[in-house]
Chain A
């Protein structure tokens, strides 16, 4: 069974530029999560989707971050414009349901110069 797929794996951009990350969850998983992991810390939830609906986006900085999950499968996380403090690893995870075990993708390491 294929795991959670993310792309790109690495991204280097200059501040104020836009950037987008893509995630394909495990087949059949209705719940999708985006986490941000700063250096030396554990991941922190940015947004959680149940199918197409964002049910928890309280930690998403909405002035510059946006996310979508069209058709309830793939998801895209966007930052526009990026700031130096956005440098981090962005992890996507999926689970069968909201309380079920979450499986993580390899992450996208973002460096903002």
Chain B
């Protein structure tokens, strides 16, 4: 089974400041990793994903994340945030292949990012 822990439930930050949203996971098998963003009253939109290769992954809207296998982390970063980045962010993992959990996305509890002017 997999589990995902998002270490901060809320992150307030001022506009144009950098931000990091932290995510740790636990799994007995290899996983793919994802970050999704959810704006108020909307569904989840894929920000970025790590499948293989370079551990630094770039996504939409200027976000990037770094996969650290030894620390089982997948932290999300943005060097300069905008008011429009205010939303809830979810980290998620999925087993790569096989087993009863195949195809099942496991999400963290979410981090609410609030960007202040």
Interfacial residues, chain A to chain B (CB-CB below 8 A): 4, 6, 31, 33, 40-45, 48, 55-56, 58, 91, 93, 98-99, 101-107, 109
Chain A residue nearest to B92 (CB atoms) is A42
Contact A48 B44 (CB under 8 A): no
Q: How many residues of B contact A (CB 8 A)?
A: 26
Q: Could you say which residues of chain A place their CB within 8 Å of the CB of B45?
A: 104
CB distance from A21 to the nearest CB of B (A): 13
* The residue from B4, B46, B94, B104 contacting A56, defined by CB atoms under 8 A apart: B104
How far, in angstroms, from A75 to B41 measured CA to CA in the complex?
Answer: 22
- Stretch of B53-61, B67-75, B77-85, B106-114 contacting A (4+ beta carbons < 8 Å): B106-114
How far, in angstroms, from A104 to B34 measured CA to CA in the complex?
Answer: 13
Q: Could you say which residues of chain A place their CB within 8 Å of the CB of B42?
A: 106-107
Interface check B87, CB cutoff 8 A: no
Most buried by B among A31, A103, A109: A103
Q: Could you say which residues of chain A place their CB within 8 Å of the CB of B95?
A: 99
Contact A99 B97 (CB under 8 A): yes
Tell whether A104 pairs with B43 under 8 Å between CB atoms, given A42-B92, A99-B32, A99-B102.
yes
